[in-house]
Amino acid sequence: MTVKRREFLGTTLAGAGALLAGCGGGGGGGPAMGAPNAGFGVSLSQGQPLKVLSKLANASSEPGRFSATVTAAPASLPLVEGRATSLWLYDGLLPGPVVDVREGDHVRIALVNGLPLDTTIHWHGLPVPPDQDGNPMDPVRPGATRVYEFDVPAGTAGTYWYHPHAHGTTAEQVSMGLAAPFIVRAADDPLAQVPEVTMLVTGIRLGANGQVSPDGPMDFSVGRQDGQLLVNGGWLPVHAVRPGETQRWRILNATSARYLRLALDGHAFTLVGTDGGLLAAPVGPLAEILVAPAQRVELLVTASTTPGARFTLRALRHPIDAMGVGTYATEDLLTVATTAGTPAAATAVPASLRPIEPPGPAVAQKRLVLTQSGMGMMGGMFGFLINGRPFDMSRVDLVSTVGEVEDWDIVNDTLMDHPIHIHGTQFRLVSRESRGQVAAAPYAAWLDTVDVPAGTSATIRVRQGLAGKRMVHCHILEHEDAGMMAVLEVRPK
Ligand code: C2O
Ligand code: CU
Ligand code: CU
């Protein structure tokens, strides 16, 4: 099957490119739009059963210890008929192996860098000490091995992920296949009895030669435009479910830039968890849920009681700029197929999940203004800035104190949406402001990434628990690499 060119790559975004690049003059249709996709149209096999992700094996037999080695290296997979696609993978797997640990565990993971360039592993969302968190300041050279070691504290149960964070090449490394889930479990998980499925969404874009196509001008402006969205490494996989069964889906958005506004035909979601784990109480039923790049959700989904039926999980149409010009078209992700046989008994959903303690009043404020520099011509490298400056890892941009609660106003003065991520902690959304209207966060949830749509601002309440340098950045990886990243130094009290 030939993949049709997506709306996003066609005329709709041509105008946006001009807007975003700040060189609007004349004729909206930019010359470079869609150029990186010139060879588009390779076929991937589709419709395979949803892959159950492999777990990273624990080499330690001591209770409370997780010890393993993971290798980042080139590998080839037969994604396209008759061709081998060269990728960069963790342990040869697309996606990489799941780290599955318990609260209280001590984790020790050795990274072997078999790549031809510097890499790191960043433990996205976890409160890992800064020197163990795979910051761009701590590159692991080609051929080198680096041991990361940290504790997974009580209260952190949730769905996280790991990926490279090398200076300037994060987007490339992730688009080549380096990403994997990291799940932390609690001994008293109120949903432990509910069957669960992990679904890691990534994107892939292959050229006519069957190889991953490099980022082009369009990708550098709005973030990488993937050819296909993959779930657990498969294109449009089929997930078989017993009719009437309730499952807990851990969905991770590990794409470079793709906003996933998820909906499942004929079904509603109950939201039970976000980036940092369970909510205080279930939220729903929801017809759809937006999962910005880097975010995760935990959903309860009760399958239709009709045996032998098929339903599509989709990423719905979603605009990513103020003008509504840059818009992701609706795209299918996965088929849910109910099996034959008698429906499963209904699962009772607990009315409360776990306490979410209020963080207390803020003792300091910060303001982060997101802008873009208009220096680039169409398709040129233009800058995405935080407080007027592009990333410089030798500079400290923001200073906080261990344990202090702060309110941050994140103001998006650009023409497109940015998912802003802070390392090392989970924060709370307090409110959002748009055109002078302030809306309080509808429910308490732990986040490490907050979407800040163009022309709006978000206020978050954040506290860092460990001293050292943390990254704050847009998780559209091309924006991060282009400079939309700041260094937060957390000082001891
Ligand atoms: Cu997902 Cu700076 O990271
Ligand atoms: Cu992170
Ligand atoms: Cu961005």
For the chain of 493 residues, list the mean pLDDT of each consecutive stretch of 10. Answer: 35 41 32 32 83 98 98 95 93 98 98 98 98 98 98 98 97 98 98 97 94 92 93 97 98 98 98 98 97 98 97 96 81 97 91 93 98 62 86 97 98 96 98 97 97 97 98 97 96 96
Structure tokens at 10: 């066609």
Q: For residue 227, give the amino acid letter.
A: G
Q: Distance between CA atoms of 336 and 243, rounded to whole angstroms?
A: 10
User: Quick check: CB of 294 below 6 Å from ligand 1?
Assistant: yes
| Cα-based distances in Å from 39 to 3, 8, 220, 432 | 11, 16, 18, 41
User: Quick check: CB of 479 below 6 Å from ligand 1?
Assistant: no
Distance 448 CA to ligand 2 centre (A): 8
Let me know: does 171 contact 215? Beta carbons within 8 Å.
Answer: yes
Distance 162 CA to ligand 2 centre (A): 8
Q: Distance between CA atoms of 216 and 36, rounded to whole angstroms?
A: 5
Residue nearest to atom 1 of ligand 1 (CA): 124
Provide the CA 455 distance to its chain's centre, in angstroms.
Answer: 22
Q: Do the domains 65-185 and 30-42+195-338 match in fold?
A: yes
Q: Distance between CA atoms of 369 and 385, rounded to whole angstroms?
A: 8
Q: Which of 193, 240, 205 is nearest to 50 (CA)?
A: 240
pLDDT of residue 11: 33
Let me know: does 155 contact 103? Beta carbons within 8 Å.
Answer: yes
Structure tokens at 8: 């996003």
Distance 83 CA to ligand 1 centre (A): 32
Q: Which CATH number fits domain 364-491: 3.30.70.920, 2.60.40.420, 2.60.40.10, 3.40.50.150?
A: 2.60.40.420
For residue 473, which atom of ligand 1 is closest to its CA? Answer: 2
For residue 163, which atom of ligand 1 is closest to its CA? Answer: 1
CA geometry: angle at 306 spanning 305 and 310, to 5°? Answer: 115
For residue 449, which atom of ligand 1 is closest to its CA? Answer: 1
Please provide the size of the chain in residues.
Answer: 493
User: Quick check: CB of 423 below 6 Å from ligand 1?
Assistant: yes
| Cα-based distances in Å from 367 to 378, 387, 408 | 30, 8, 6
Distance 90 CA to ligand 1 centre (A): 17
Q: Which CATH number fits domain 65-185: 2.60.40.420, 3.40.50.10860, 3.90.230.10, 2.70.150.10?
A: 2.60.40.420
Distance 429 CA to ligand 3 centre (A): 18
Half-sphere exposure of 483 (CA within 13 A, CB side): 18
Collapsed DSSP state (helix, strand, coil) of residue 164? coil
Collapsed DSSP state (helix, strand, coil) of residue 60? coil
Residue nearest to atom 3 of ligand 1 (CA): 124
Q: Distance between CA atoms of 212 and 206, rounded to whole angstroms?
A: 4
Measured from the Cβ of residue 288, the count of other Cβ atoms closer than 10 Å reads 14
Collapsed DSSP state (helix, strand, coil) of residue 399? strand
For residue 423, which atom of ligand 1 is closest to its CA? Answer: 2
Q: Which ligand gives the minimal distance to the CA of 178?
A: 1
CA geometry: angle at 488 spanning 484 and 491, to 5°? Answer: 175
Half-sphere exposure of 432 (CA within 13 A, CB side): 12
User: Quick check: CB of 471 below 6 Å from ligand 1?
Assistant: yes
- Tell me the residues surrounding ligand 3 (ion) with CB < 5 Å: 418, 474, 476, 479
Let me know: does 171 contact 224? Beta carbons within 8 Å.
Answer: yes
Return the DSSP state at 322: T
CATH fold for the domain made of 30-42+195-338: Immunoglobulin-like (2.60.40)
Q: Distance between CA atoms of 477 and 224, rounded to whole angstroms?
A: 8
Buried-state track 148-162, b at ≥16 Cβ within 10 A, e below 16: bebbbeebbbbbbbb
Measured from the Cβ of residue 196, the count of other Cβ atoms closer than 10 Å reads 16
Domain layout of the chain by residue ranges: 30-42+195-338, 65-185, 364-491
Distance 425 CA to ligand 1 centre (A): 12
Return the DSSP state at 130: G
